[in-house]
């Protein structure tokens, strides 16, 4: 006798907020506000690019929702040609039905008119996508995190809390170990964070992103023959200003006179369980990959994060040309538990091209780590 459940799938609809939140609580995904959910449906990619894919799918056992996979579309340019990609988001399945997760992934991959499928989920999701013929992107150090300690005491106390230490050893350890780390940082990582050139640096909020970002994007997308995910001004404002989120986002801008020549996106979030305020550079664009511009943007992010009281600033992803510039600032390095960026190429004309590391410009921007 076959006791397998009779499962079905249906597309996610705007009215499904409460049902989705109930599922997320059961499977351990972080909850989101109604405002955040509503904002997902106003993604400019749908309107401006004429793309209208499903927002995701639910896995159902009868009328009960037991699983979900989200679907976030992008437009990218390669050799000046427009292509469509999509990233899976918020994949979660009730423990009893985990063996059927493949139904959601398979449905995601069966979408029409998509050139590139991406997942940047947890280890189990990435392994599932690899099983379904997904491949690690050829940015081979994407799983290597670069980081700089800004507040040694805060950073060490957070590490002790993560290891389950009690309050007194944490306080004592943070004070005792923080001092030598502070002096080591001053000697080993001694560099100026002040602007030494004619470039003008500013800090703005996401809603202040203006048409000058559009002009920079139009120059940037034809600059090199590699993947460039769309970064028009409307999309950037939507992408980096989600409502009712716990993180704070700042845009560090670099101007040459009045001309925008680069920007970096810095996202800071407090982790209350360990008492750590962590900053991440989730995107960085510099005209012609100019090392001077990259230097100024990094120093601007470093300065802002330190003055904001962050314990650490991190970088994940970016091509070699960016990471080589950052390496001179002597970062600490650690590896993520698994490789977090898996893709599957649907457009066969792109298969050989996208085996070349130099064709990629991937950061947290196009992943669910930046939403």
Kindly state whether residue 240 falls inside one of the protein's structural domains. Answer: yes
- pTM here is 0.90
Closest of 107, 105, 43, 104 to residue 75, by C-alpha:
43
14 and 101 fall within a common domain: yes
Token couple for 342: 């898996």
CATH number, domain of 72, equals 3.40.630.30
30 and 84 fall within a common domain: yes
- pLDDT of the chain, 371 residues: tens digit per residue: 456 778 999 999 999 999 999 999 999 998 999 999 999 998 888 776 677 889 999 999 999 999 999 999 999 999 889 999 999 999 999 999 999 999 999 999 999 999 999 998 789 999 999 999 999 999 989 999 999 999 988 888 888 888 775 554 544 444 455 455 555 555 555 565 555 567 999 999 999 999 999 999 999 988 878 899 999 999 999 999 888 677 899 999 999 999 999 999 999 999 998 999 999 999 999 999 999 999 999 999 999 999 999 999 999 999 999 999 999 999 999 999 999 999 999 999 999 888 999 999 999 999 876 56
CB burial readout 49-69, b (16+ within 10 A) else e: bebebbbbbbbbbeeebbbbb
For residue 293, what are the domain limits? 144-335
- Count up the domains in the chain and report the number: 2
193: which residues sit within 8 A by CB, 6+ positions away? 299, 302, 303, 306
Kindly state whether residue 259 falls inside one of the protein's structural domains. Answer: yes
As a whole number of angstroms, the distance between CA 108 and CA 103 comes to 9
278 and 320 fall within a common domain: yes
197 and 121 fall within a common domain: no
């Amino acid at each position: 006798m076959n006791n397998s459940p009779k499962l079905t799938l249906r597309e996610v609809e705007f009215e499904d907020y409460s049902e989705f939140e109930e599922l997320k609580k059961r499977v351990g995904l972080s909850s989101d506000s109604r405002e955040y959910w509503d904002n997902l449906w106003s993604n400019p990619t749908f309107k401006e690019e004429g793309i209208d894919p499903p927002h995701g799918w639910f896995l159902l056992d009868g009328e009960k929702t037991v699983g979900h996979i989200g679907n976030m579309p992008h437009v990218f340019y390669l050799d000046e040609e427009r292509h469509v990609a999509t990233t899976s988001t918020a994949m979660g399945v009730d423990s009893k039905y985990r063996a059927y997760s493949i139904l959601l992934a398979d449905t995601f991959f069966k979408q029409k008119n998509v050139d590139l499928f991406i997942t940047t989920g947890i280890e189990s999701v990435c392994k599932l996508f690899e099983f379904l013929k997904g491949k690690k992107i050829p940015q081979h150090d994407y799983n290597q995190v670069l980081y700089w300690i800004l507040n040694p005491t805060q950073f060490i106390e957070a590490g002790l809390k993560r290891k389950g230490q009690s309050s007194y050893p944490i306080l004592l350890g943070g004070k005792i170990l923080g001092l030598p780390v502070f002096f080591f940082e001053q000697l080993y990582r001694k560099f100026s964070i002040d602007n030494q050139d004619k470039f003008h640096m500013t800090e703005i909020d996401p809603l202040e992103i203006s048409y000058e970002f559009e002009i920079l994007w139009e120059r940037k997308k034809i600059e090199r023959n590699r993947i460039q995910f769309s970064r028009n001004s409307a999309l950037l404002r939507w992408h980096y200003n989600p409502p009712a989120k716990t993180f704070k986002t700042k845009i560090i801008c670099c101007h040459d006179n009045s001309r925008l020549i680069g920007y970096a996106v810095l996202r800071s979030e407090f982790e209350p369980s360990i008492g750590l305020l962590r900053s991440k550079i989730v995107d960085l664009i510099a005209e012609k990959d100019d090392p001077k511009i990259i230097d100024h943007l990094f120093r601007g992010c470093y300065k802002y994060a330190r003055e904001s009281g962050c314990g650490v600033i991190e970088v994940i992803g970016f091509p070699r040309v960016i990471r080589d510039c950052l390496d001179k600032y002597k970062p600490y390095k650690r590896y993520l538990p698994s490789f977090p960026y898996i893709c599957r190429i649907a457009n066969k004309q792109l298969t050989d091209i996208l085996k070349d590391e130099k064709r990629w410009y991937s950061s947290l921007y196009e992943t669910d780590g930046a939403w």
